[in-house]
Each structure stands twice: as C-alpha cells, then as structure tokens.
C-alpha cells in the first residue's frame, strides 16, 4: 500500500511540476484560441502519409528499445546503480506482482503523461513552430537527454562522465523518436508518445520486479 501511495504522490508532483510552465504559457498567450489540452496535442491520432511509415518506425523503435546500452557500462557502476535508493525503478526490484499497480501509475502518469506534456506537448511544438519540425524535434530531444543527466546529478549519483554521455544519447534518441512519431507520422497528437513512453518504462519496471534484469 505504501508503494502505491508513493507512486500516486510522485505522479501528482510530476504532473504539477511538468505542467506548470506549459499551463502558464497557454494561459497568457493562447487561452483565447483553443483549450489547454488541445493546444498540447491531446487530440485523436491520425496517421499522416502511408501506413508503411509507421511499420518502419515500429521496427526502428523495437531495435532501439531492445538494444542493451548497459553492456558498455562498467559492472561496478551497474552494481552501484542497482543498489541505490535514488534510482526509482529499484523500488520495484524483486517484488513481482505487487509492483504492477504502482508501476502503472508511476510509468504512465508520472513519466508518460507528465513528461510528454512538457517535452512533446509544449517544448517540441514550440520549437517546431519557431525553428521548423526537424530542428524542433532535435532540440527537444537534446533537452530531454540533459534533463536525465541533471536528475542524476541532483540525486547525487556518482556515475561518471561516460555514463552521463550514454544516458544523454539513449534518452535523447528516445525523445527524438517520440517527437518524430507525433509530429511527422501522426498529426501532432501526443497520445502515441504517451502510450509508447509509458509502456516502455512499464516493461522495464516489470523486468526489474520479476527479476529478469
């Protein structure tokens, strides 16, 4: 029960923090034009172009997601991270089915919804409008990668420059793919990236919970 309450608390805090700037920006600049959620991209996904572009994306994303970048990380660093209380997924380690509900809450709301609101809903669309679609997607991806570096630094995790570099590249590439999915394959809806982001994190949590990692 405590784990569920912690996940609810994390989800609530993340939603407030990640939505604050987008909401204020919308309120002062766009509230007379459209609703907040439509402005962010909470609209029905509609495939742009040919169906095979989605198939190609799915193949690329599958190989990206299943690629184990941790093979390039020293074992002592991995052991350190797996035993750190600052790494959120460790809360689910080895607890099996008891992790399903709190992981669903944390992965789909605290990560999937909250992070997508700020990065693909707000920043990506803002940058795409100002700089063009490709540059906008690339810039939000870089900021998403840097956010993960910053979170590790704020948590006081001693992982070294090499780990930070790999983390930036891995999370940045994920953000690039999610931004591309929304803006180039679909019609600007952020629902596809919310579902994919949440599902990816949830799978990782389940692998940890059932001791597959």
pLDDT digits (tens, 9 = 90+) for 40-95: 999 999 999 888 999 999 999 989 988 888 889 999 999 999 888 888 888 898 99
SS (H, E, C) 150-183: HHHHHCCCCCHHHHHHHHHHHHHHHHHHHHHHHH
Q: Are 157 and 86 in contact (CB under 8 A)?
A: yes
User: How many domains does one find in the chain?
Assistant: 1
pLDDT for the residue 66: 86
Place of tokens 């992981």: 103
The domain in which residue 47 lies consists of 2-209
Confidence at residue 102, expressed as pLDDT on a 0 to 100 scale:
95
Q: Helix H segments across 32-123? A: 36-40, 51-66, 75-82, 100-105, 114-116
Half-sphere exposure of 55 (CA within 13 A, CB side): 3
User: Rounded to 5, what percent of the chain is helix, strand, coil?
Assistant: 80, 0, 20
- Block means of pLDDT (10 residues each) for the chain, 213 residues, are 92 96 97 97 94 92 88 91 86 92 95 97 97 98 97 92 95 97 97 96 93 73
């Amino acid at each position: 029960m405590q784990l569920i309450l912690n996940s609810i608390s994390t989800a609530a805090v993340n939603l407030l923090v990640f939505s604050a700037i987008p909401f204020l920006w919308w309120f002062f600049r766009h509230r007379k034009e459209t609703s907040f959620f439509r402005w962010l991209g909470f609209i029905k996904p509609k495939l742009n172009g040919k169906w095979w572009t989605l198939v190609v994306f799915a193949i690329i994303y599958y190989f990206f997601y299943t690629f184990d970048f941790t093979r390039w990380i020293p074992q002592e660093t991995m052991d350190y991270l797996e035993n750190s209380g600052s790494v959120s997924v460790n809360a689910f380690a080895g607890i099996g089915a008891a992790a399903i509900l709190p992981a669903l809450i944390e992965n789909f709301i605290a990560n999937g919804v909250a992070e997508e609101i700020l990065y693909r809903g707000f920043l990506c669309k803002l940058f795409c409008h100002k700089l063009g679609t490709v540059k906008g997607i690339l810039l939000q991806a870089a900021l998403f990668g840097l956010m993960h570096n910053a979170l590790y630094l704020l948590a006081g995790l001693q992982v070294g420059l090499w780990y930070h570099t790999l983390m930036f590249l891995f999370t940045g590439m994920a953000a690039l793919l999610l931004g591309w999915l929304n803006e180039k394959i679909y019609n600007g809806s952020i629902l596809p990236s919310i579902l994919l982001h949440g599902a990816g994190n949830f799978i990782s949590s389940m692998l940890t919970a059932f001791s597959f990692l």
